[in-house]
Structure 1
Amino acid sequence: MIEQPVSRTVAESQSERTEIVFPADSNALGNLFGGRLMQYIDLVGAMAASRHARAITVTASMDHLDFVAPVRVGELLILKASVNRAFKSSMEVGVRVMVEDVEQQHLRHVSSAYLTFVAVNRDGTRLIVPQVIPETEHQKRRYEDAGRRREMRSGETLRKKELRAALTPEWHY
């Protein structure tokens, strides 16, 4: 019988990452490439998920990503990740990205994302993850919202599966 892991608070696995944007990370307008921001989001999200599961985690999906404002060369990015909710072997992680204006001592929101990570062992077998204990009102709201987003993702997954099954053979890859 598989033993159920101990539940953990949101605070126990929160992760933060800070980056400076260099010219090699930017497009012709001097703004951070969206793909590079996605990489940073995936990395900080994986850190939070791994801390929560105390295991290797793999990205299952990034189903919601908003680019709110551009990030310019020379700006400091601050990425914060929290596990919103854990299910059986998967976890929803929310990532919020801010830019710090060091001169004005001001933070500006530039992006948010929701990712799903799955805990696995070295053989790739899924592992049961600890449940999340939300403590603050904000964490409790994110916990409930994560359950609703999971229901929507499940419906979308089923719809895509049915769509693929309906495609003619010449459309299959």
Structure 2
Amino acid sequence: MENHPGRTVEYSRTTITELMIPSYANFGGKIHGGILLSLIDKVAYACASKHAGNYCVTVSVDGVEFLQPVEVGDLVSLHASINYVGRTSLVVGIKVIAENVKQGSVKHTNTSYVTMVAKDDDNKPTIVPPLILDKPVEVRRFYEAMRRKELNRSFNEKMDETKANIDMDDAVSLLKDQRCNVKLD
């Protein structure tokens, strides 16, 4: 793979469309977020493994924000493409669209970013082909994925710092105006 010429974004672009049935709904009649997350994971796997030419596993899901509810009877399409590749990892961008065919309405329900790692036959991380970027939007998405990765790393470092240096008296003081009751022994 080290000398692989690379694969285009188009090569592994994947779309899955599924009808939202009543058993997918919660008590409010809306589709469970977990159903959508499962479909996001499925399309991310299909897209990533096609690019990698290997089995891929999910490392993280970033940016899951449900913008609009999905209804029973909607056709949900998940459009996936590779936004970024590292040495063994890939970031798959997924746009989720819900379509009500009776009303003729289409709504964007969320966009998510799934980081996958390619595995070889011995279940060890393996090198993935480079990504050939042949459209400006693909360059922008690759760059955005790099920045998101940097920001996530920085955020996690700051949170680790916060956890390591927390002063309980300060924390309790900061929580006094929040919707919680602190009852420490």
Q: Same fold (TM over 0.5)?
A: yes
| AA partner of residue 116 (structure 2) | F
Deviations 1:71-114 (A, max 9, x none): 01111101000000101100111000001232454421011101
Structure with greater Cα Rg: 2
Per the alignment, residue 87 of structure 1 pairs with 86
Q: Give the Å deviation of 1:138.
A: 1.5
Check if 1:43 corresponds to 2:42. Answer: yes
1:99-118 equivalences under 5 Å are 99-118=98-117
For 1:157 and 1:52, how far apart are their aligned partners in 2? 29
- Shift in alpha-carbon separation, 1:85–1:23, aligned structure 2, 3 A: same
Check if 1:120 corresponds to 2:119. Answer: yes
Q: TM-score, normalised by structure 2?
A: 0.82
1:1-173 equivalences under 5 Å are 3-159=2-158
- Given that 2:6 and 2:131 are in contact with CA atoms closer than 8 Å, whether structure 1 keeps it comes out as yes
- Shift in alpha-carbon separation, 1:4–1:87, aligned structure 2, 3 A: same
For 1:108 and 1:7, how far apart are their aligned partners in 2? 34
Deviations 1:107-159 (A, max 9, x none): 21011101100000132111011111122222121111011011122223444
Segment of structure 1 superposing worse, 149-158 or 126-135? 149-158
Q: CA RMSD in A?
A: 1.9
- Given that 1:45 and 1:93 are in contact with CA atoms closer than 8 Å, whether structure 2 keeps it comes out as yes
Runs of 4+ in 1 over 3 A off after TM superposition: 103-106, 156-167
Per the alignment, residue 171 of structure 1 pairs with none
SS in 2 for 1:66: coil
For 2:51 and 2:64, how far apart are their aligned partners in 1? 22
Q: Give the Å deviation of 1:161.
A: 5.4
Segment of structure 1 superposing worse, 153-162 or 37-46? 153-162
SS in 1 for 2:72: coil
Q: Which has the higher strand share?
A: 1
Per the alignment, residue 170 of structure 2 pairs with none
> Sequence identity of aligned pairs in percent?
36
In the comparison of the two structures, how many residue pairs are matched?
166
Q: TM-score, normalised by structure 1?
A: 0.87
- Shift in alpha-carbon separation, 1:60–1:6, aligned structure 2, 3 A: same
Structure 2 unpaired stretches of 5+: 167-185
